[in-house]
Each structure stands twice: as structure tokens, then as C-alpha cells.
Amino acid sequence: MAHTANPKIKRALVSVSNKEGIVEFCDSLSKNFGVEIISTGGTLKTLLDAGVEAIDISQHTGFPEIMDGRVKTLHPKVHGGILSRREIDQQVMSENEIKEIDLVVVNLYPFIETISKKETTLEVAIENIDIGGPSMVRSAAKNNLYVGVVVEPYDYKKILDEISLNEGSLTLETRRNLAAKAFSHTANYDAAISSYLNEKQGKIPQYLFGKYELKQELRYGENPHQSAAFYTNTSQLHESSISSAEQLQGKDLSYNNIADTDAAYECVKTFSEPACVIVKHANPCGIALGNNLKEAYERAFESDETSAFGGIIAFNMELDNETARQIIENQFVEVIIAPGISSKAQETLSSKENIRVLDTQILGKPDNGSKLLSVNGGLLLQDNDIASLSIEDLQIVSKRKPSEEEIKDCLFAWKVCKYVKSNAIVYTKNNQTIGIGAGQMSRIDSAKIAASKAIERGFKTQGCSMASDAFFPFRDGIDAAAEIGITSVIQPGGSMRDQEVIDAANEADMSMLFTGIRHFRH
């Protein structure tokens, strides 16, 4: 089919929620290229108030906006003008007095921004579902052979530059690229709506749609030969997380930096007292509480100084200058993340310009949403593990009752255990990790590694507590703990050999607590 390769833009339909740059863009279209501007509602008012010539959509269609603006662009003179095939639809266009629309400039009602506000009701969310906007965008994108469509303000300058170079037109390549972007725009919009409505109903969705926007391309993935990128969840930008954090200084974050920082920050969120979490290669190597942030850091660092080298450090309070100085004196660090960085701490850290410093502004709570894991040919979806535990939830199954101090240590160890790769064993004393065994194929190996780390660091293991993320299938893990003086154990329970394990604890005069909750982390 023959067609005009690059049709001149004579008429543009403009209706935008995000009005950034729209006045300057439309003013240039009108004055420099003689483009007739058709517009709607708030966009029209913005243009007219700024002195930009524009025609009301109702004047163009001969039909008023109705239902409080719900129906204003759903009209044949709009969609016929956008969808017309220039060489074969001229007769029907003439018969119905439909004018061609060559450029559609539309971005949608701020649905995602609206639902990100916790006070938003379902009724308000529904009213922020755009109908006319996506229809116009899709129509223009479909008819990209003749029509350009613009959905992002940052494209305005590129559009104007190209129109100027091409005597008032866009190239077919540009129109096709804009169309692809437009369909991505509406797909993401529809996905957000679908996900929101499913979540409101408490349903697992039939289909999973993307709600993710490219934040940055990364130098590489886990290894230099792997390409990688970082995407943010557009419906959770208000959450306090690695995704919303502002980087104050340092080199670009790597794939591994992002993964480890997420693990550290989500862990530190679970504590209300001043806390520090140090992560190395996806596992905590030191976690501790303190009377202040500096003390918490020093105790976390003391837990495993060797592994902390080149680690990720997360705090649950604003980083102060004293703590920042201590970090620099103690170790090489890849990333520091905290809900606030004091001005003096920033100044101190600036002396080490390669340290990546991230500010999340507020601490927030552990995310109660869902987690995705890709597998070959598919995705796994599950709720985030936000299960909590109180003293009242504990079941004492041993003959010896735990002391108050042991209960506190057990509960601390249990929180830590949730963020350690399975099989996970954690030894603690006085709200400090002294040995962590992670990611082993057998639980006894994890227990032995945790013990060896504690002993290697010179910690006194007598009277310490132990947590296991899952039940003990055999008594050997308890026997290994007894050998180094562990006196209290917290674990889910539920093994066929529970009684055998309890008997081992009783033989060693240990207290044992069952949680009824498992914390596998793969």
C-alpha cells in the first residue's frame, strides 16, 4: 500500500496529566510549525492561560464533555481522525467531516501515584482509572504509519528537534519507536490496575504483569560476562527500600551491591533498638543492637571482622558522624545505607569518595507484599516472610525453663535467622551474633561452621543461645551445640524425631523453645 513516508504534522491532540514542559512544547508546535492544537479540560486551561492557541475538544467534536469529564474524547471525530488511513479513508472522512490528527500527546491519570498513598480508598482509585487516554494512545500507536504518539515529557525536545530537521514531520522509524513506547506505557498502566484490584480482593492473579520501570543499566550482573539492569516497582516507590534510596556519593551500584544492600536493609528494619547489620555475599556476617548506633556497629563488626571487609552496612537510624568515623577507621566498606545521613557524617564519608552512601529518608517497615523469583521458563511468587514472634507464642518443650536473658537472646537470634540462607544456624549472646552458619546442605554442617566462627573470633560460647530456621531432623545439631556450651535453643519443631531432639537438649540441660514457624530462605 502506498503512503506518504513522513506525513506533515498539521494537527495535534494534547491531553496530559503530567503538565511538565507541555506549554513550551505546544507553543513551539503552534508558532514554529503551524500545528493546530486540540486539547481537553485542565490541559486546555493550562495552555490558554499561558497564551498558547488551542481548540477545545468539544468544539472539535461538536459534542460536550459529559459525566464530569468521564466522556470527552470517546468520539468518532477523535478516533476516526487518529485511525484514518490517509490513502483509503478519505471518502468516509469527508462524509463525516472528520479531520486528520497527526500527533497525539497524552499521558494518563496518575493511577499508580494515587494508589501509592495509603489513605486512598477504592472509590478514589477507580475514579483515577483513565479510559479515554489509553484509547487515544493505543489508536495512535496502532496507526504509527501516519501518526506520532508521545507519552513522556522527556521526549518533547527530541520530537521538536526532529520536526525541525524534517520540515514538520517525524520519520517512520521514530513513529514506530514511539508506538512501542506507547504500548509499554498503557500495558504498565493496565497491569497496575489489575494488580491493585487483585490485591484488594486478596486474590492470586491469573496473570502476572510487569509493574517495573528501568532505573538503571548496570555494568554487569553477578559476573562480568553477564549483562544486567535494575528495575523499580512503580507501585512501591513510596516504600523505604533500596529502590527508593537516594545515592549521596560513590561509584555506581553493582548487581551484587543492590542484592546485598536489600538483604541488609530489610533485616535491620525488623529492630526497634539501635541496630547494625553487616552483609557479605547475601548473608549477614554480623548483627548487633546497642545503646547507640556506634555501639551497635562496633558489636556487629566485632562479630566477624574478617567477613565484614568489603561488606554492606545497614542502620535503622540516622547515621551520625561518630559512627561514620568509626567505620572508616575499622574497615573497607562497599555500601552504607540508613534512614538519614547527618551532614557531618556525609562530610566524613566524603573523604572516601568510592563508598556508596544511600539515604532512604525514613526507616519504614518490612515489606508485606510479595516476592518474585525467576526460574527457567517461569516465575515463582510468594508472600514476603514477615511472620513475627512474641514471648507468648513460644512453647517450652524442655525440662529446664529458659531464663529471661535466654528468651531475649533466642528471640534476637530468631529474627536474625530469617535473613540467613538455609540451612541457617545462628549463635547469639546479649543481642549480638557470635557465629553464623549459612547455606549448607546439612544442618549439622551449619552448626559446626557457626561454632567454629565463634571460637575463631574468641567469643565465649558458654551460656549462648542458638536459633535454627527449620527443625532439627536429628539430635546431632543439638549435640554439637552442647559441646561448646550453648544453653538455650529456639527452633520451629515439627520433626518426626522431635522427641529425640528434645531428649538431647534435656541431657545437656538446655532449654528448648518451639516457635511453630519455619524461616527457610533460598
What's the rounded mean pLDDT across residues 14-30?
A: 91
Distance CA 225, CA 240 (A): 32
**Which pLDDT does position 37 carry in this prediction?**
92
What's the rounded mean pLDDT across residues 1-5?
A: 53
Distance CA 454, CA 5 (A): 73
Are the CB atoms for 17 and 108 separated by under 8 Å?
A: yes
**Which pLDDT does position 87 carry in this prediction?**
78
Q: Does domain 11-201 have CATH number 3.40.50.1380?
A: yes
Per DSSP, what are the bridge partners of residue 288? 276, 432
Q: Evaluate if residue 4 carries a pLDDT over 60.
A: no
Distance CA 270, CA 50 (A): 51
**Which pLDDT does position 135 carry in this prediction?**
85
- State phi, psi for 146 to the nearest 5 degrees: -125, -25
**Which pLDDT does position 276 carry in this prediction?**
98
Query: Could you tell me which of 404, 464, 470 has the C-alpha nearest to residue 434?
Result: 464
Q: Evaluate if residue 442 carries a pLDDT over 70.
A: yes
Distance CA 256, CA 279 (A): 11
96: which DSSP letter?
T
What string of DSSP letters covers 366-429? ---SEEEEEETTEEEEEE-------GGG-EE-SSSPPPHHHHHHHHHHHHHHTTSPSS-EEEES
Angle at 363 between CA 358 and CA 368, to 5 degrees: 110
8 to each of 68, 170, 172, 324, how far by Cα in Å? 35, 8, 12, 60
- For the chain, give the percent of residues with pLDDT over 70: 94
> pLDDT tens for residues 221-268?
999 999 999 988 766 656 789 998 999 999 999 999 999 999 999 999
Q: What does pTM read for this prediction?
A: 0.73
What's the rounded mean pLDDT across residues 512-519?
A: 95
Q: Evaluate if residue 113 carries a pLDDT over 70.
A: yes
Would residue 60 show up in a list of annotated catalytic residues for this protein? no
**Which pLDDT does position 1 carry in this prediction?**
43
Question: How does residue 207 score in pLDDT terms, banded at 50, 70 and 90?
Answer: low
3-state secondary structure 113-177: HHHCCCCCCHHHHHHCCCCHHHHHHHHHHHCCCCCEEECCHHHHHHHHHHHHHCCCECCHHHHHH
3-state secondary structure 34-92: CCEEEECHHHHHHHHHCCCCCEEHHHHHCCCCECCCCECCCCHHHHHHHHCCCCCCHHH
Report the mean per-residue pLDDT for the chain.
Answer: 89
**Which pLDDT does position 2 carry in this prediction?**
45
Which of the pair, 238 or 432, is modelled with greater confidence?
432
By mean pLDDT, which of 52-66, 326-340, 436-450 is the weakest?
Answer: 52-66
Q: Evaluate if residue 115 carries a pLDDT over 80.
A: no
**Which pLDDT does position 3 carry in this prediction?**
52
What's the rounded mean pLDDT across residues 131-144?
A: 86
Which of the pair, 2 or 500, is modelled with greater confidence?
500
Distance CA 59, CA 179 (A): 28
What's the rounded mean pLDDT across residues 63-92?
A: 75
Question: How does residue 130 score in pLDDT terms, banded at 50, 70 and 90?
Answer: confident
**Which pLDDT does position 236 carry in this prediction?**
64
> The domain 391-514 belongs to what CATH superfamily?
AICAR transformylase, duplication domain (3.40.140.20)
Question: How does residue 346 score in pLDDT terms, banded at 50, 70 and 90?
Answer: very high
Distance CA 420, CA 63 (A): 63
Question: How does residue 213 score in pLDDT terms, banded at 50, 70 and 90?
Answer: confident
Q: Evaluate if residue 322 carries a pLDDT over 70.
A: yes
- State phi, psi for 39 to the nearest 5 degrees: -145, 175
**Which pLDDT does position 447 carry in this prediction?**
92
Which SS3 state, helix, strand or coil, does residue 473 take? coil
**Which pLDDT does position 374 carry in this prediction?**
83
Q: Provide the terminal-to-terminal Cα distance of the chain, rounded to the nearest Å.
A: 56
- The active-site residue out of 181, 251, 281, 408 is 281
- For the chain, give the percent of residues with pLDDT over 90: 58
- The active-site residue out of 8, 99, 142, 238 is 142
The segment with the largest mean pLDDT, out of 171-175, 209-213, 308-312, is 308-312
Question: How does residue 67 score in pLDDT terms, banded at 50, 70 and 90?
Answer: confident
CATH T-level topology, domain 246-359: Cytidine Deaminase; domain 2 (3.40.140)
**Which pLDDT does position 445 carry in this prediction?**
94
By mean pLDDT, which of 290-299, 369-378, 457-466, 474-483 is the weakest?
Answer: 369-378
Would residue 281 show up in a list of annotated catalytic residues for this protein? yes
- Pairing assessment for the beta strands 55-56 and 36-39 based on DSSP bridges: parallel
The segment with the largest mean pLDDT, out of 82-86, 130-134, 316-320, 381-385, is 316-320
What's the rounded mean pLDDT across residues 155-182?
A: 90
**Which pLDDT does position 72 carry in this prediction?**
66
Are the CB atoms for 458 and 302 separated by under 8 Å?
A: no
Which of the pair, 59 or 432, is modelled with greater confidence?
432
Which residue in the block uniquely carries the three cell numbers 545503646? 291
Domain with CATH 3.40.140.20 in the chain: 246-359, 391-514
Q: Evaluate if residue 401 carries a pLDDT over 90.
A: yes
Q: Evaluate if residue 74 carries a pLDDT over 80.
A: no
Distance of CA 153 to the CA centre of its chain: 24
C-alpha cell, 176: 514506530
**Which pLDDT does position 237 carry in this prediction?**
59
- Pairing assessment for the beta strands 395-396 and 11-16 based on DSSP bridges: unpaired
